[in-house]
Every structure is written in C-alpha cells, then in structure tokens.
Amino acid sequence: MDRRRNLLIGIVVALVTVGASIVATGFSRRLLSPFRMHTTYESSQPAPDLAAGDWINSEPLKLKDLRGRVVLLDFWTFGCYNCRNTLPFVKAWHDRYRDKGLVVIGVHSPEFAYEKKSENLRREIASLEIHYPVVADNDYQTWDRYKVAAWPTIFLLDKQGRIRWMHIGEGDYDEAERKIQELLAEKTP
C-alpha cells in the first residue's frame, strides 16, 4: 500500500512540476496557439496583392485600384461551419457600408477537393446570397501571402492599402464593426 501511495504522490508531484514549468515559461501559449478560436491584432503593414483566380460577382480587382476605400478581406470556404456563422455579419457590413466606402472581398480558399470546383463555388455563392466579389484562391497563393492559418480570417485594410486589423475565427463582431467605422472615418492624407 505504501508503495502505491508513494508512486501516486510521485506522479502528482511530477505533473505539478511540469505544469508549473510550462506555465512559467509561456510554453503553453505557444503550444496551444494553433488551437485558439480567434485572435486579434493591429498592424500597419502594406497589404500583399491578391493572387489571380476566378472572380465571381466582379471583374478581377486589384488592391491598388481600391486606394481611398476601406477593404475587408474574408478568407473563408463554403464547407466551413465557422465561416457560415460569420457570413451574416460580413454580408451585413457589405450592405451597411458599401455606399460609405467599404469594399468586401471574399477570398475562397477551399479545404476539400469538391470546394475547388468552380461550379460548386458559384452554386454556393448564389445559395448563400453573397453579392460582393469573391475570388477563388484554389492554389492558396493569397492565403500564403497573408499568412492565414485558419478559416475564417478577416483582414481590414485602410484607405492607403495597409493591414490595420485582423481576426481569426468567429466572434468580436462589435469590435470589427467599430474598426470598420473608424477606418471609414479616417481622412486620407
């Protein structure tokens, strides 16, 4: 009995020691970062160009041609449950702010082979009643340029074409809308 108790005490002490060292070194944050549902940051990096792809609801767009407007890039895929939960907010922002200078662009980066098919993407966009431009990013060139790690990810670009805000995952819709309003109100130098 004493041997089992000592073994159990040893295991508990080892787990507490390992756990404390993980927390103390910040390793747990790095270890768990790929599993976080969302993150938000602010920056002022120039936005990378959009890669070529099939465009739906628009002729091909270039970010340099959108200077003077705020741009929302929504990295999504139609088979993603979380993307579908975010979609009503993105569509509402498009409807509410497009006449005030917001351009919403969906960057469809497919997760599965069936999502790469143009006819499937077009059918889903029509079914979901998406009326803003969507570019098919089947080869992940735009995804890679923006260093996207998960669906959905939203970027907001200011009127000068700089990345000013990014959010991964669902949620923080009020914060996103406040940031849209703030960027629309900024004066262009």
CA distance 57 to 63: 16
pLDDT in tens, 5-16: 888 887 877 777
Domain ranges of the chain: 1-35, 38-185
- Give the count of beta carbons closer than 10 Å to the beta carbon of residue 131: 15
Q: What is the DSSP string of 74-123?
A: EEE-TT-HHHHHHHHHHHHHHHHHGGGTEEEEEEE--SSHHHH-HHHHHH
Tell me what pLDDT residue 35 has. 44
CATH 3.40.30.10, applies to 38-185: yes
Cβ atoms 50, 63 nearer than 8 A? yes
Tell me what pLDDT residue 28 has. 44
Mean pLDDT to the nearest integer, 103-116: 97
pLDDT in tens, 117-135: 999 999 999 999 999 999 9
pLDDT in tens, 17-74: 766 666 555 544 444 444 444 455 567 778 999 999 999 999 999 999 999 999 999 9
Tell me what pLDDT residue 31 has. 43
Residue 149 has pLDDT above 80, yes or no: yes
Reported confidence tier of residue 2, pLDDT bands at 50, 70, 90? confident
Question: Can you give the pTM of this predicted structure?
Answer: 0.79
Mean pLDDT to the nearest integer, 155-168: 95
- Looking at the chain, the whole-number percentage of residues with pLDDT higher than 70 is 86
**136 Cα distance to chain centroid:** 15
Tell me what pLDDT residue 27 has. 47
